[in-house]
Structure 1
């Protein structure tokens, strides 16, 4: 069998399109990328023997894959990694600083959830124009202020499967006092399926045991939403 001389596993351009970080972000969204893949996009290129992703993985390995530890690295620390010069180190530091500043703003401007409309508006930046289904949870504190919103499952055009253990793991780690379930319908259909209802009942029962109530389940579409509480499904 002949070997393709143009294929080099260390060159990103030789990979399948959906495996390249930039193309993967365009196809699947930013949440689908690992920390190393996001850093690979920042640094742009690797070395003769290492792809940008290989270099980025080396950077993450140097901080035990801890993004918070990476944020504490200076230029001298970062340039100890093979393939990272001053310019790339500065790019990484600038991106992490922007992320920190955004976090500070969000913490200082916590949004309070008073209705299902607030949840819909909270999720617009995450779910608007998505062509596949995603399942998210919005974690709230005792004042019903948003602590954090995280995606727990990404699926296809017509469905996604979520693991209750993952949902409550996120909620417990963030010391949430309550959670709101959110998933989108790319079709635009504002109707809860039997599977949606059964999953919601299951999660609500689990939340009662953990003293971590499921407050609502919102089905998101670009043109509107359905709230289980508002519609009496809960």
Structure 2
């Protein structure tokens, strides 16, 4: 059923025009993204069902793959791509709010810099923040991505990138898709290797973060550096 056949009060686009974007519910916003429902449900009803499946949480919705979304009746590849695209735009918008050369003065500052890149992933990725002598960010990037349980970083690539950007300090981070914040033996080993390599090059390892969807673990805060 197309949105154009709904009662006037139930048309999200018309409601947007007459009352403004803030008047729309989450399901109405999602309905606009999808454009239509299926033969049994309006776009709003279908959106409501999709959101209910993730406890009405946009962050949880962002974890769904195209295949997950296409399990809902009436959601084909076009609608699924539209949903994922809208959520990706939201993630990038949030990331662009970070000023250039932001100063990192705590583990929470580093977490806020990287959480939008790492918190919602289903596989592990390894990122690094490169800092100058004033602890201002000069560069941050993904270095590797791996499987569900592991993402191995090449220490040589890490420090080549640091040298390319004349960094004097680095903060490394990876995510745990399982949600478990406890460092593994491999996490402890790679942290020690990077710390020792940094000492030789006068590039200090300032912290290593493990990031999950809702929290993080700091090696520095826990006295593990």
Class of the TM-score when normalised by the shorter of the 2 chains: 0.5 to 0.7
Of residues 97, 118, 125 in structure 1, which corresponds to 2:109? 118
User: Partners of 1:150 and 1:119 in 2: how far apart?
Assistant: 13
Task: Give the corresponding residue for 1:147.
Answer: 138
Could you state the TM-score of these two structures normalised by the residue count of structure 2?
0.56
What are structure 1's unaligned runs of at least 5 residues?
1-25, 28-101
Of residues 138, 159, 174 in structure 2, which corresponds to 1:183? 174
- Deviation, 1:186, is 0.6
Task: Give the corresponding residue for 1:164.
Answer: 155
User: Partners of 1:195 and 1:109 in 2: how far apart?
Assistant: 32
- Deviation, 1:109, is 3.7
Task: Give the corresponding residue for 1:207.
Answer: 198
Equivalent residue pairs, number: 133
Q: Deviations over 1:144-166 (max 9, x none)?
A: 11111111110011111111001
User: Partners of 1:133 and 1:113 in 2: how far apart?
Assistant: 23
Q: Contact 2:119–2:214 (CA<8 Å) still a contact in 1?
A: no
Could you state the TM-score of these two structures normalised by the residue count of structure 1?
0.54
Q: Report the secondary structure of 2:182's partner residue.
A: coil
- Deviation, 1:111, is 1.0
Relative contact order, CA 8 A, sep 6+: which one is greater?
2
What are structure 2's unaligned runs of at least 5 residues?
1-64, 67-94
